Amino acid sequence: PREMAAAGPPTQPPAPHPSVAPLLFLLGKWRGEGEGTFPTINPFRYGEEILFSHNPSKPVISYTQKTWKAASGEPMHAESGYWRPTPDGSVEVVIAQSTGLVEVQKGSYDAENKTVTLQSELVGNASKVKQITRAFKMVDGELSYVVQMATITNSLQPHLKALLKRI
């Protein structure tokens, strides 16, 4: 019966895990647009959605991303992984890409300026990619990032930049 189902006081959402607290600004769903470039390719524009989520019992943020061609909506690259911030300001990220490439990223965050910078410690199962860096920054409530890569033929330089709004 209905009157038995709703017993008890309203519950507070559980507090986030303390390790994750400095990166709470990332949590949620983001959507936006980006552009891709590299000396060896034609520049391109893409749409993107990112979800950062968190279970309060775990010191981990889950990350999933998907992209599509800006003009047609056709699916492009996707990736997902886990972000593991530590209270000392360091952060470790693992990412699996839809292309088969895997990354272990290490870096640091600045909770006050809402930035995260990552450099690859390991790039696995890649035919061309030697190194990847990722830099995230909150600008006026929007999430921006730059991804740089080094390949067997080209030194470290931008491949992607994007700006996303919270939805």
Contact residues for ligand HEM (CB under 6 A)?
36, 38, 40-41, 44, 46, 67, 76-77, 101, 128-129, 132, 147, 149, 151, 153, 159-160
Please report how close the Cβ of residue 132 comes to ligand HEM at its closest, in angstroms: 5
Q: How far is the CB of 89 from ligand HEM (least distance, A)?
A: 23
- The residue among 20 and 116 lying less far from ligand HEM, judged by its C-beta, is 116
Shortest Å distance, C-beta 121 to ligand HEM: 14
Closest CA to 63 of 77, 46, 84, 42: 84
What is the closest distance, in whole angstroms, from the C-beta atom of residue 117 to ligand HEM in the complex? Answer: 14
Nearer to ligand HEM, 19 or 154 (CB): 154
What does the CA dihedral 16, 108, 135, 62 come to, rounded to 10 degrees?
-30
HSE, side-chain direction, 13 A CA sphere, residue 96: 5
Rg (CA), the chain: 18
Distance between CA atoms of 164 and 78, rounded to whole angstroms? 16
Q: Which is nearer to ligand HEM, 22 or 81 (CB)?
A: 81
Q: Are strands 44-54 and 61-69 parallel, antiparallel or unpaired?
A: antiparallel
